[in-house]
Amino acid sequence: MTKSKTAKTRRAAAKPRAADPSEARAGRTAERIMQTVLQERDQETVVQRLDQWVPIECPHCGEGTEIHVIADMDGQSVDQDCSVCCRPFIAQIDIEDDEANVSVEAA
């Protein structure tokens, strides 16, 4: 009798204590996961918006070629070697309003 009474009391006392914080935590975690997923989706959409081949010309010999530009290359300089004259040049990438502008410079 004494044993079962003690067990009952313990169970009754433990139940609400264990359930309440874990439920609240689970809810918050789910919210956080949802927010993270939504944010990641937004970022992917931005990155995928700009993905194009931009025609450029070798500053040494004038040979036309193309450079692959994606959104996160904004402001970057890319070292290139001309496929015709083999001389190096630098492609400076600027992205404005989802449009890639690439200027070339002899290296």
Q: Which residues bind Zn ion (CB under 5 A)?
A: 58, 60-61, 63, 82, 84-85
Q: How far is the CB of 106 from Zn ion (least distance, A)?
A: 10
Give the DSSP letter of residue 73: G
DSSP result, 28-61: HHHHHHHHHHHHHHHHHHHHHH-EEEEEEE-TTT
Whose tokens are 């692959």? That residue is 68
Which CB atom, from 30 or from 61, has the smaller least distance to Zn ion?
Answer: 61
* Of 13 and 84, CB closest to Zn ion: 84
Q: Whose CA is closest to 45, among 100, 93, 98?
A: 98
How far apart are alpha carbons 97 and 78 in whole angstroms?
A: 21
Nearer to Zn ion, 7 or 106 (CB): 106
Nearest residue to 57 (alpha-carbon basis) of 47, 67, 49: 67
Task: Tell me how far, at minimum, the Cβ of 81 lies from Zn ion, in Å.
Answer: 9
Closest to Zn ion by CB, 72 or 81: 81
Minimum gap (Å) between residue 33 Cβ and Zn ion: 51
Nearest distance from C-beta of residue 90 to Zn ion, angstroms: 13
